[in-house]
Amino acid sequence: MRRSAVIYEINTWVWLNALSRAHGRTVRLDNVPGEEWDRLGSWNFDAVWLMGVWERSPLGRQIASTLPELLTEYRKALPDFTLNDVVGSPYCIHRYVVDEYFGGPDALRIAREELARRGMRLILDFVPNHVARDHPWTTEHPEFFVREPDGRIAYGRDPYCAPWTDVAQINVFHAGVQTAAAATLMDIASQCDGVRCDMAMLVLNDVFQRTWGDGAGPRPAEEYWSVVIPAVREKHRDFTMIAEVYWDLESAMQQLGFDYCYDKRLLDRLEHDNAASIRAHLTAELNYQRGLIRMIENHDEKRAADAFGEAKERAAAILISTLPGARLYHDGQFEGRKVKLPVQLGRRPEEPVDGELIEFYHRLLAACSGDVFRDGDWQLLNASGWPDNTTFENLLVCCRRLGDSRAVIAVNYSDAPAQGRVRLPWDDLASREWRLSDRLTGDVFVRDGNEMIGDGVFVNIGPWQAHFLEF
């Protein structure tokens, strides 16, 4: 998959439920209407992440139907909620077999073929840290699990949160676990083109030891991922590995073989911080940035339309769509959905569709589909001002180049107008005029090349607005 891959996440159960309602029949992965696959293909995605296809735990569903704190979340998200809407967590996996609700393994094979026919690859889930409490391993390989002092299998958890009571904690320090995990992942790899690994940093030796202490037994000589990833890549060389990772461990995960790691720091800075903080984040080493996956929402986060608001969301979307690395968009993001749905629910609420936002994302993704944004060089640029103007500090500017194709993106990441000058790094602009077309607005500017590489091109951008200029 291309280093600048565009990935679309779909909550598979919710998506098929919505399609079934819309078409008045049961829709599974093997009979999704062709126009729905065509719709996905029209967005120029490189891959679709079908989140949650694996068999869900009956015990996990029972637990998810009784916890008071979850019931409160369900009713908040779904005003007409009933217990029939609880389908269990997609990360409480009973078996790594495609759930019959989706049509089973053959249906997934057909869905993968439909995606491939439209030039898209298939991403699925892998959860290294835990399985459902009724997973076959709990009886077939009880030695694979961490035990509490009273002898029972421990609930899964991370070192900072309360235990997840629906799942059993795998002991990744046990000698047989890495072999078994590699076998599981190789089976998954035969059914898709890549995986998103849930909470992938929890199985790092340092993190696991901090979480479980002596209860995990002796620390292994090698890291879990340094064993599992090469084993999978030996049979599936082009298999894509994506890590959900936090706590500033992204670089460590890249070094262990992951193609992409979540850039949660950027998401948080985009939501809460100013342009200076975001700019500092983007000064990181370029090869490291190419291994990050940028986003402004996913199933674990607040909806972008809710978290950012309309104008700020568009500015953030332009930024993440033009940076090095991969880009992740979430089903419902383009339509402006605001309800963050608990993953245990199989039905989403009715929400109004924001047609203008859909059109914005269509223009943005079309503008970013060219090779200059997929394979071109990327550079962060600095804006400058003058004695009575400091608004330039709110401008985030970058450029792209691939051969004769060039682009400059300037975003005013503030709620006030911003002006500044931006010196472009291309000396061959000199001694001629250039026509700059804004791919998002249709505006056209003619600028002198000597000025652009000398004093710099002048930009004047309204609050949360942007220029997306191609030469």
What's the pLDDT tens digit per position in 154-165?
999 999 988 999
Does the pLDDT of residue 432 top 70, yes or no? yes
Residues forming beta bridges with residue 400, ordered by sequence position: 378, 407
Q: Which amino acid is at 171?
A: N
Of the candidates 190, 205, 168, the residue with the CA atom closest to the CA atom of residue 122: 190
Kindly report, residue by residue over 129-153, the tens digit of the pLDDT.
999 999 999 999 999 999 999 999 9
pLDDT value, residue 374? 87
Residues forming beta bridges with residue 261, ordered by sequence position: 243, 292
Query: Residue 465's Cα: distance from chain center in Å?
Result: 24
Please check whether the domain covering 377-470 is classified as CATH 2.60.40.1180: yes
d(CA 215, CA 24) in angstroms, rounded, equals 52
Asked if 383 and 398 touch (Cβ cutoff 8 Å), the reply is no
Does the pLDDT of residue 1 top 80, yes or no? no
Q: How many CB atoms lie within 10 A of CB 162?
A: 8
3-state secondary structure (DSSP) of residue 232: helix
Q: How far apart are the first and last CA of the chain?
A: 28
**Average pLDDT value for the chain:** 96
In the Cβ-directed half-sphere of 443, how many Cα atoms lie within 13 Å?
9
DSSP state of 423: -
d(CA 421, CA 457) in angstroms, rounded, equals 5
d(CA 365, CA 368) in angstroms, rounded, equals 5
Q: Give span(s): CATH 3.20.20.80, the chain.
A: 6-374
Kindly report, residue by residue over 8-34, the tens digit of the pLDDT.
999 999 999 999 999 999 999 999 999
Query: Based on C-alpha coordinates, what's the Rg of the chain?
Result: 24
Pairing of strands 292-294, 260-262: parallel
Q: What is the pTM of this model?
A: 0.96
pLDDT value, residue 104? 97
Share of the chain above pLDDT 70, in %: 99
Share of the chain above pLDDT 90, in %: 95
The mean pLDDT value for 244-257 works out to 97
The dihedral of CA 459, 464, 465, 466: what is its sign? positive
The mean pLDDT value for 101-117 works out to 98
To the nearest 10°, the Cα dihedral for 361, 363, 364, 366?
Answer: 120
pLDDT value, residue 2? 65
Q: Which amino acid is at 137?
A: W
Give percent helix, percent strand, percent coil of the chain, each to the nearest 5. 40, 25, 40
Question: Spelled out in words, what is the top-level CATH class assigned to the domain 6-374?
Answer: alpha beta
Does the pLDDT of residue 175 top 90, yes or no? no
Q: Which tokens belong to 78?
A: 């779904």
Does the pLDDT of residue 184 top 80, yes or no? yes
Backbone angles phi, psi at 106, to 5 degrees: -65, -35
Q: Which residue has the higher pLDDT, 341 or 217?
A: 341
pLDDT value, residue 62? 97
Interacting residues of 268 by C-beta distance below 8 A, sequence separation 6+: none
Burial of residue 12 (number of CB atoms within 10 Å: 0-12, 13-18, 19+): buried
Q: Give span(s): CATH 2.60.40.1180, the chain.
A: 377-470
